Structure 1
Amino acid sequence: MALGVENTGRDPPRLAILAPLDRVAQVSGVMADYIEKAGLKRGDRLPTERELMVALGVGRSTVREVIGRFQALGVLESRKGSGTYLLQPISAATVHMPLRLEAENLREALLQTLEVRRGLEVEASAWAARRRTAQDIQQIEEKLDAMERVHLAKGTSGKEDLAFHLAIYDAAHNPLFRQLLEQMREAFERFWSKPFDRPDFARRSFPYHRTLFAAIAEGDAEAARQETLKILSVVEEDIKDMSQ
């Protein structure tokens, strides 16, 4: 079924129902197209979640995921009890959609994404050490404690590990770190979900998360860099060892 926006003259554009395949990415593109064709301006309120669900033919969770993705990009804002508002004009041509990585094999994909992670996470950790507030330290420690509990119980902690690193990104107080991660999350998650079907993947990096937190809490930017590099070095070693 073709995707797109059906314009009915003066009425707001009606969105075509989407096929199930790759729905979140499709909804993101159509939503951006809708915002442009509806002529929504900065400060305008978007239709309600229910109206978007009906127009798009998708469930509430999909609509919320797309809205959350646009919030991370800094173009939408949800106001409790009021609705979701446009913070800046966007279109399918100008808003950055999630990046895709087409690698020939898992090893290549993991190493390529690791290069990007190294560039982002090392600097985010250093800036977090310089700019963290008492509230940031509390948030990071809470995420770390949750990660440790799950890791000790199950031997793995993918979602909790991501939450820990997102808290560090937020502590850097530069919204571009999180925005870049949101754009790449789809490509990252595609390859980083239990790599090589090994529950012990990167397990050796676990202790360095606590020392990374300590460096950030102490405001030591260089130590934060080094602890992040230790984590990523273990990850790289496991990619190479487990892909042989």
Structure 2
Amino acid sequence: MKSKPSNSGLLSPVKSQTLDSAVIDALAAYVEEARIEPGDKLPSERMLCERLQVSRPTVREALKRWEALGIVEMRKGSGVYLRKAVGRNIVHVPLVLSRSSNVKDLLHGLQVRRALEGEAAAICAASASADRIATIEKALDRMEAAHAVGNSSEEDWEYHQSIIEATGNPLFTQIVQSMRDLVHQFWENPLQIPNFAEASFPFHRTMFDAIARRDPATARAEALKIIDSVGSEIREAYPGEA
């Protein structure tokens, strides 16, 4: 992982009467102005304390709040690394998701994905740039190649992410990123259903075809086929629990 220069002049002392929110705001402003990106290492706690003129426990508490939201990763012996974009006008809302193998929990996740991914596909078909569509196609090609020789879970995630990002709506990206663990759980096939989600695979190509020919209604319909196919498999395998 790369480490950005300190850019210490961008940090300013904060007033004690608004300490909790001010430290978070100051850190967010610093990350934005210093152009620190996800994957980059943040300055040391000592440097942050000196520039903000607050105690180390105060800085540490702010970083822990960010860690709880998935904004940073605190690596023992290495430092603090940014995981999500932050800035003055970006609000991170905690999203509590269950990783249980409960059938209803899995179906709840699919309901949310249905709303998000169906709309994202339609938006892409209507307004995504030619470059974005080319990126989606490359992601699909990688996914199909991986699927042909074995597990394509990571490539599947990248394909769906490329569609989400092509909407140009950062809220789509943030919400779906916060659901990453939940989405990956489906590929782990926690319910042990034979050939799980295999029936949904062809719809990934037909969804892209609709996006490429600028057909929002069909793009949405094909996206929903992916989600509904997986949901049907779960309901058929566990009819008494759905």
Asked if Structure 1 and Structure 2 have the same fold, meaning a TM-score greater than 0.5 normalized by the shorter chain, the answer is: yes
Would the aligned equivalents of 2:200 and 2:230 in 1 still touch at CA under 8 Å?
yes
Deviations 1:168-206 (A, max 9, x none): 111212121111112232344456533323462111111
1:123 aligns with 2:138: no
Instruction: Indicate the residue corresponding to 1:24 in structure 2.
Output: none
**1:199–1:140 distance in 2 versus 1, CA, 3 Å:** farther
Gaps of 5+ in 2: 1-11, 15-19, 47-59, 64-73
Instruction: Indicate the residue corresponding to 1:100 in structure 2.
Output: 96
Gaps of 5+ in 1: 1-10, 14-31, 76-86
**AA of the residue aligned to 2:139:** K
**1:131–1:52 distance in 2 versus 1, CA, 3 Å:** farther
**1:60–1:103 distance in 2 versus 1, CA, 3 Å:** closer
Residue of structure 1 aligned with 2:24, choices 36, 39, 64: 36
**1:107–1:50 distance in 2 versus 1, CA, 3 Å:** same
Would the aligned equivalents of 2:203 and 2:225 in 1 still touch at CA under 8 Å?
yes
Instruction: Indicate the residue corresponding to 1:170 in structure 2.
Output: 165
**1:63–1:242 distance in 2 versus 1, CA, 3 Å:** farther
CA distance in 2, matches of 1:62, 1:239: 42
CA distance in 2, matches of 1:191, 1:204: 14
Instruction: Indicate the residue corresponding to 2:129 in structure 1.
Output: 133
- The higher radius of gyration belongs to 2
Deviations 1:132-153 (A, max 9, x none): 2111111111110111011111
Would the aligned equivalents of 2:164 and 2:173 in 1 still touch at CA under 8 Å?
yes
Cα offset for 1:125? Answer: 0.4
SS at match of 1:147: helix
Instruction: Indicate the residue corresponding to 2:109 in structure 1.
Output: 113
Deviations 1:77-103 (A, max 9, x none): xxxxxxxxxx3177xxx6323x22348
CA distance in 2, matches of 1:119, 1:180: 12
CA distance in 1, matches of 2:35, 2:124: 34
**1:193–1:62 distance in 2 versus 1, CA, 3 Å:** farther
RMSD: 3.4
CA distance in 2, matches of 1:108, 1:59: 37
SS at match of 2:191: helix
1:58 aligns with 2:55: no
Instruction: Indicate the residue corresponding to 2:189 in structure 1.
Output: 194
CA distance in 2, matches of 1:232, 1:153: 23
CA distance in 1, matches of 2:28, 2:121: 37
SS at match of 1:137: helix
Cα offset for 1:40? Answer: 6.0
For normalisation by structure 2, the TM-score amounts to 0.67
Would the aligned equivalents of 2:153 and 2:184 in 1 still touch at CA under 8 Å?
no
Taking every aligned residue pair, what percent have the same amino acid on both sides? 35
Cα offset for 1:235? Answer: 0.6
